[in-house]
Structure formats: C-alpha cells, structure tokens
Structure 1
C-alpha cells in the first residue's frame, strides 16, 4: 500500500488512525539486505528525494537500490556514478522503462517514472567556468527533482566580469528565489553575485585549481571569508547540497506566495 492508498483507506474508514500511523512509519524506511536502508519518506517529509551516492557502490547493489527506491517513490537521484558503470545504469533504466534526465559533464542521473512537474519555485544557477559545469548540472538535477524550474548560465566567471550582468538581469526579471554560484580557482564570483543580488546566494567551491590552494581549498577559503552578506557556502564540489538548499528556499517562498 503506497502513501496515497493509506490516506484513502483512512478517509474511507477501512483502517484506523493507529493502523495508518504504523503503515506510514513502515513506509518511511526500506531495508535492502545488509546493503542499504532507504529513506523512502524523505520527499514527503522534507521535499528532498532519496539521493544515492554511487561512487563507492558496486553496480549490482546500485541497481538493487534504484529499483527498490522507485518501487516506493517516483524519482531517485544517483550522483557520482562510476564512469565504467554509467552506461550500464542507463541501459538498466531503459530496460525497466524508467525515464532519465542527464547532466552535462557529470555522471549524475535523475531517474523517474512519471514526469516531474515544475510546481515549485525558481532557482538560478551560475557556473564560473566550463570546468565547473558538472557541479552546476548536479545542482540542477537536484532542484528539478524537487519540482523547481532552473535558469542556468555557464562560463560567466570574473575573467570577463561583464558577462555576469545580463545573466543577473534575467534572474531578476524571472524572479528567481535563490541563486547557486559554482566557482573554482579563487571562487570570487560567489561574493560578487551576493553583493548584487537581493536573494539568497549559495556558493559552491569546486576542486578546479592548482598550486597553492589547489583542489578547491582557495575557493572554499575565499567564499568562507567573503564580506558580502547573504552568501552561504557548501563544501567543495557539493552540488547536491547546494541544489537541495536552494530548492528548499525557492519552494518555501512559492508556497507562501500562493497561500
């Protein structure tokens, strides 16, 4: 019995409130042998779907987790799939008649059964350089899994600062509720956007960089030390965390505005 069926049965008096509570609690966690415990109730509880970190999982285990998750939920996001397994997960998804959304320069996949409606808020996503696009795309997939509409603009870093102004103008006109800024090297773009935008800005330092402060350390330090108010920072390459935070903000604002 899925969640909708539980509520329908409760409404019709077929089950008691205590029985419904028990069924809902059982529904919220799915155990797959000794491999994983899936939080199948997260989307209903927090608005964030189950997200699977694929980089250290065996292909067979990953398939089992995806299949079990989609037996209870409409969508699942799989991040950092091993490159050697990426095409195999695509084949597996098509074989099971799942729908797929891919991202540029990333092995993350949004796998779903029914089309995900864009009933949430709007999020703007900016990547400073082409090397940062993969992290930005991962954030986009998370936002879209949370029903958000995303406006993306890539390769608009401070090496050519004039490129950012038309983008921000578009974001203002489209009334985005949060902006994700993905940047490596010194990560200065996040501070600049935060100093201009009147919405929350989430900075994502990426591991693009070399020499002193390599692997995203300089970008992280720069964003954390920013004197621009309104900037929140997530961990290096954490597109998933940035997407979830931005979508939560945008969806809460959308909910408030429609009441």
Structure 2
C-alpha cells in the first residue's frame, strides 16, 4: 500500500507522484491557517515541491511568515508554490481565453502547468466577439501539443478552436457572464454539447484540473511517461 503522512485532520499522499506522475496539490480555500501551515511543512520536510490552489492573500501572508523566499504567489490566480528543486519543462501547452475576465482561471491553469513541468504559451482575449484575433494566433496555437480553452459567457471558444486544430482541446467554462449564464452553466453546456470532436470538458472555473490533464497529454507526446 502507498504511504501517507498522518496529520489527524489530513492524510498527505506523499507517493502520488509515483502513481500519477505529479504531486498532490493543496486546496487552500477550505483550510484553516494552522492546517495549511502544517500541511505545507509536512510536504516541505520530505524535500518535495508544493503547490496550493485557491489561496487567498491572507493565507499567503501566513505561509510567507513560515517559508519566506521559498514561496511564489500569484494573487490573481490564487496559486502559491514552494519550490525546493527545479523541474525540467518540456513540450508546449497553449492556454487561450475568450476574454480578459477569464484570465484568473487561465492563469491558474498556466502556473500549475509550469509547476508540473510544461512550457506554456498564453493567448488572452481571443474570443468569438472578435474572431479575427483568434485567426491571427491560430498558427502559433497549432504548434502546441494541447490547448486549454477558457471561456465564460456562451463558451464558444473551445468549439471554434477544436474545429481548426488537430491537437486535443481541453475546455474550461468560467463563471464570467450575466444572469442567464447561470454562473458558468451556460458555458459548460455549450462545451459539453459541442459538435467539434476531441473536446474534453472540466468543471466550472477549474483551471487546475485542465492543467493536470494537459500536462499528462503533453508528457505522453514528449515521451516522458
């Protein structure tokens, strides 16, 4: 059986990297300051790199008091990383957004992808309301091994991209939009019902899960399984 670290309130899966290829991420949002510090410390003591998602600025400041310059934090993405050893970056993941409002979710995906060892190129604000902006970038996007398409409103970006490229497309619906977007549900349904083949869809605002799948695809293509 796999080993784990018993903290009472958490069982840290220290061997996940052996089974899955990537270490466990810490979902910070629902944890107390004390729990978060103890979790980061336990992972840190093993010599591992640590990544936390949905980390608010207050939580980051608490962590910073304990781990100092080892930490890197992006307030917009709410991603905090503790890096003790550098990870070689391979391949390429293209991360695209429909609008500027989708950037926080896209940036979560981008930072997590880089943390796990993928090169990332970002293409922001190339949504269908000005589709010529996408066409200007599509040749660059095609050079990637996988695309992450992040969009709110009606969520059409993923379908358009998937109809233009021969690489996997991972769609991320966001909660950006007015009333009838239902907090991202309209974008989610658009992506799930896309006529364009080869689209995989993750949960609303879940940039992390999109990055995880994108990294697995990128790693396989680069022969790094």
Q: Which residue does 1:31 correspond to in 2?
A: 6
Q: Distance in 2 between matches of 1:240 and 1:132?
A: 14
1:81 correspondence with 2:55: yes
Q: Secondary structure in 1 aligned to 2:154? A: coil
The question of whether the paired residues in 2 share the 8 Å contact of 1:80 and 1:108 is answered with yes
Higher helix share: 1
- Among candidates 95, 108, 126, match of residue 156 of structure 1: 126
Q: Which residue does 2:145 correspond to in 1?
A: 177
- Residue 116 (structure 1) shift: 2.2
Q: Which residue does 1:206 correspond to in 2?
A: 174
Q: Which residue does 1:98 correspond to in 2?
A: 70
Structure 1 alignment gaps of length 5 or more: 1-24
How far does the alpha carbon of each residue in 1:143-166 deviate from its partner, in whole angstroms, 9 at most, with x for none?
A: 112211111111111121111123
Cα separation, partners in 2 of 1:142 and 1:158, compared to 1, 3 Å: same
- Residue 78 (structure 1) shift: 0.4
Q: Distance in 2 between matches of 1:125 and 1:88?
A: 31
Q: Which residue does 1:136 correspond to in 2?
A: 106
Q: Which residue does 2:191 correspond to in 1?
A: 223
The question of whether the paired residues in 2 share the 8 Å contact of 1:104 and 1:133 is answered with no
Report matched runs for 1:35-46 at 5 Å. Answer: 35-46=9-20
Q: Distance in 1 between matches of 2:44 and 2:19?
A: 17
RMSD over aligned Cα, in angstroms? 1.8
Q: Distance in 1 between matches of 2:5 and 2:83?
A: 18
1:109 correspondence with 2:80: yes
How far does the alpha carbon of each residue in 1:70-101 deviate from its partner, in whole angstroms, 9 at most, with x for none?
A: 2224311101113432333234331xx5242x
Q: Which residue does 1:194 correspond to in 2?
A: 162
The question of whether the paired residues in 1 share the 8 Å contact of 2:149 and 2:169 is answered with yes
Which one is further off, 74-83 or 54-63? 74-83
Which one is further off, 160-169 or 232-241? 160-169
The question of whether the paired residues in 2 share the 8 Å contact of 1:195 and 1:228 is answered with yes
Count residues with an aligned counterpart: 225
Structure 2 alignment gaps of length 5 or more: none
The question of whether the paired residues in 2 share the 8 Å contact of 1:53 and 1:79 is answered with yes
How far does the alpha carbon of each residue in 1:14-34 deviate from its partner, in whole angstroms, 9 at most, with x for none?
A: xxxxxxxxxxx56x31111x2
Q: Distance in 2 between matches of 1:49 and 1:166?
A: 36
Q: Distance in 2 between matches of 1:162 and 1:71?
A: 50
Q: Which residue does 1:10 correspond to in 2?
A: none
Q: Distance in 2 between matches of 1:85 and 1:37?
A: 21
Q: Distance in 2 between matches of 1:164 and 1:64?
A: 44
- Residue 197 (structure 1) shift: 1.1
Q: Secondary structure in 2 aligned to 1:135? A: helix
Q: Which residue does 1:250 correspond to in 2?
A: 218
TM-score, normalised relative to structure 1: 0.81
